[in-house]
Amino acid sequence: MTTETETAADNIHEVPAERLEMGTWCHTRDRQIGEGDIYRAYSADTIALEGRIRRPFQFQGSLFATTSVHGGEDFKAEAYRLQLPELFNEQTMTYAERCRSNDPRSNPNGFYHGMLVRHGKQEYVLVGPPQQFCPSKEPVQTQGSLF
């Protein structure tokens, strides 16, 4: 079984590849199936348009929202940790407020750091720096045939 590990950089994590799976569209069920939890948590579009996130994923005891997915050979996802607003000691803002700031991409903790978002009725703050998740290079172990 593949385990989740951290690489030399603190913000790069290897996870089982199935957590990053895009899945496939099922016309019978009229929905995506086989989607990994990290990929399914992609929320950049809903953050920008509605100020909310899709169901977050868990990693090392914290909740995360995925804000970027890069395909190809170096497949990786980028995500921010979720924190309750009352525990966040910096200024918070909405997506629109961040975009109206003088230099919205200049925050060393990432574009989404300090951004207020909702999941259901719960409000959270996205906390950077962003964490990167890539598929583990360890082969997936499967049980051989019994017969």
pLDDT grade for 2, boundaries at 50, 70 and 90 = very low
In a domain, 146, yes or no: no
Check residue 86 and give its pLDDT: 97
Residue 49 in any domain: the answer is yes
- 106 is a domain residue: yes
Domain count for the chain: 1
In a domain? residue 97: yes
In a domain, 143, yes or no: no
For the ranges 18-27, 59-68, 111-120, the lowest mean pLDDT is seen at: 18-27
Q: Are 9 and 129 in contact (CB under 8 A)?
A: no
In a domain, 39, yes or no: yes
Judge if the upstream peptide bond of residue 129 is cis by omega within 30 degrees of 0. yes
Residue carrying structure tokens 């925050």: 107
Residue 142 within any structural domain of the chain: no
pLDDT in tens, 59-112: 999 999 999 998 877 789 999 999 999 999 999 999 999 999 878 788 899 999
Please indicate, yes or no, if residue 98 is contained in any of the structural domains: yes
Distance CA(4)–CA(118), nearest Å, equals: 28
Beta bridge partners of 132: 12, 78
Domain that holds residue 26: 5-135
